[in-house]
């Protein structure tokens, strides 16, 4: 089943299937290892629910739901 990255629950994992971000943004997230076929996990949410922290390999970072909703993951 595919769903938006922003809809992942805490501690849920998925494989990235598509990234519909503009080139500049995509280039930025690539540095975090956020690429197609990478395994990503939602680790925690901020107290106000947005942004959300994700983890890929050893790297933890936060994205806003607005951007994360443009990324689809397979769970």
Partner 1 sequence: MKRKKACFIGNPNVGKSTIFNILTNKTQHTGNWTGKTVENEFGEFSYKNILWEVIDLPGTYSLIGESKEEKIASQFVQEEDYDIAVVVLDATNLERSIEILLEVLDIKTNVIACLNLCDEAKKRNIIIDIAKLEEKLNLPIITTNAKEKKGIEELCETMNKFIEHPHYPTIPKHNPKIENYLQWARKYIEKPLTYLTNKKELKEKETNAKLNFYRKSLTRIDLLESYHEFGTELLNDVIDRTQEKEKKEDHFWNTLLTNPISGFITMILMLFIILWLTIYLSNIPSSWLFSFFEHLESLLYKMLSFLPNFILNPLLLGGYRTLYWVVSVMLPPMMIFFPLFALLEDYGLFPRIAFNLDKPFAKCGSCGKQSLTMCMGLGCNAVGVTSTRIMESKKMRILSILTNVFMPCNGRFPAMICVINMFFVTDHSLLGSMTSSLILLGIILLGIFLTWIVTKILNHFLLKEEKSMFILELPSFRKPKIIGTVLHSWKERAIPVLKRAMSVSFPAGILIYFVANIHIGEITILEGLYHLLNPFGLLIGVDGIILLSFLLGIPANEIVIPILLLCYTNSGSLVEYESIDSLRQILIANGWTTLTAINFLLLSLCHFPCATTLLTIKKETQSTFYTILAFLIPTLIGIGLCFLITLIF
Q: Residue 1 or residue 47: which is nearer to partner 1 going by CB? A: 47
Residue window 2-41: x/- pattern of binding to partner 1, with contact defined by CB under 8 A: -------------------x-xxxxxxxxxxx-x------
Residue 18: count other Cβ atoms within 10 Å of its Cβ: 11
DSSP assignment of 15-67 equals EEEEE---HHHHHHHHTTT--TT-EEEEEEE-TTS-SEEEEETTEEEEE-HHH
Interaction mask 39-68, partner 1, x per CB under 8 A:
----xxxxxxxxx-x---xxxxxxxx--x-
Tell me which residues touch partner 1 (CB under 8 A): 21, 23-33, 35, 43-51, 53, 57-64, 67
């Amino acid at each position: 089943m595919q769903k938006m990255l922003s809809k992942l629950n805490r501690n849920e994992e998925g494989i990235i299937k598509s990234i519909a971000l503009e080139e500049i943004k995509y280039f930025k997230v690539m540095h975090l290892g956020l690429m197609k076929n990478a395994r990503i996990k939602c680790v925690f949410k901020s107290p106000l629910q947005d942004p959300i922290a994700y983890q890929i390999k050893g790297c933890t970072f936060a994205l806003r739901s607005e951007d994360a909703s443009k990324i689809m993951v397979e769970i």
